[in-house]
Amino acid sequence: MYRGVPVAVPVRIPPGIAMMNQPHATQDQPTGQVRPTTTQRQSLTGLRLQKHADYQRAYAAGRKRQSSSMSWFLAPQQPEAPQRLQFNARVTGPRVGLTAGKVVGKAHERNRIKRRMREALRRHIALLPQGCDLILHPRRSVLTLDFAKLEAEVVRILQQAKAEAARGLQTTTSFPGKQLAPAKPAL
């Protein structure tokens, strides 16, 4: 009550308790087959690139590739030094990074693009290539692109990245995609 007026206070129910009342599975046939009523929600929490140094390493080691509405980099992960592992142990596995620069739009537009990209990636976590870092650079067209088309393009990129990782990433020079001219012989 505030100055004699009843006030509605929102109550936050912890997620574990909220899920207790929901059915987890239903029997749809007399044969005893059980099908889940809710899909298992997977998260990108441990699969995201977070450090600037990881992005820079992936840019240097990878090669830029283009698709219709985004560009992407694929780079093999480097093993960490043993002294670093004891303080900062992390699980090695596929990691993905999303970037949306100011060229793409204002902050709310960039955030919306990244939310849509994260959702498309979350639905296809199994397609991420093992032992590689993948960075996606969406273009502004992703903002207005139908989600089904965006999801199909993300799946195509993930399949290409997985196939390339399976073939084994080619070692690149510090100038990926460019051939260095042979040195002139000394006279």
Q: How confident is the model at residue 27, as a pLDDT?
A: 47
d(CA 115, CA 44): 12
Q: How confident is the model at residue 116, as a pLDDT?
A: 94
Tokens of residue 127, six digits: 């397609």
Does residue 60 sit within a domain? yes
Q: How confident is the model at residue 63, as a pLDDT?
A: 87
Does residue 20 sit within a domain? no
Range of the domain at 52: 45-166
Indicate the number of domains in the chain.
1
Does residue 183 sit within a domain? no
Tokens of residue 1, six digits: 């009550």
3-class secondary structure, 44: coil
d(CA 176, CA 169): 12
Contact assessment for residue 14 and residue 20, using Cβ atoms and an 8 Å cutoff: no
Cβ contacts of 80 within 8 Å, gap of 6 or more: 88, 90
Does residue 32 sit within a domain? no
Does residue 25 sit within a domain? no
Does residue 62 sit within a domain? yes
pLDDT at 181 over 50: no
Does residue 110 sit within a domain? yes
Residue that the structure tokens 């709310």 belong to: 108
Contact assessment for residue 99 and residue 137, using Cβ atoms and an 8 Å cutoff: yes
Which tens digits make up the pLDDT trace of 12-55?
Answer: 655 555 444 444 444 444 454 444 434 455 777 888 888 999 99
Supply the Cα-derived Rg of the chain in whole angstroms: 23
78 band by pLDDT with thresholds 50, 70 and 90 = confident
Q: How confident is the model at residue 90, as a pLDDT?
A: 55
Tokens of residue 160, six digits: 């290409």
Q: Which of 166, 78, 100 is nearest to 127 (CA)?
A: 166
Mean pLDDT over the full length of the chain: 75
CATH no. for residue 112?
3.30.230.10
Which tens digits make up the pLDDT trace of 112-132?
Answer: 999 999 999 999 988 989 889
Does residue 160 sit within a domain? yes
d(CA 100, CA 142): 11
Q: How confident is the model at residue 167, as a pLDDT?
A: 86
Strands 95-98 and 70-76: unpaired
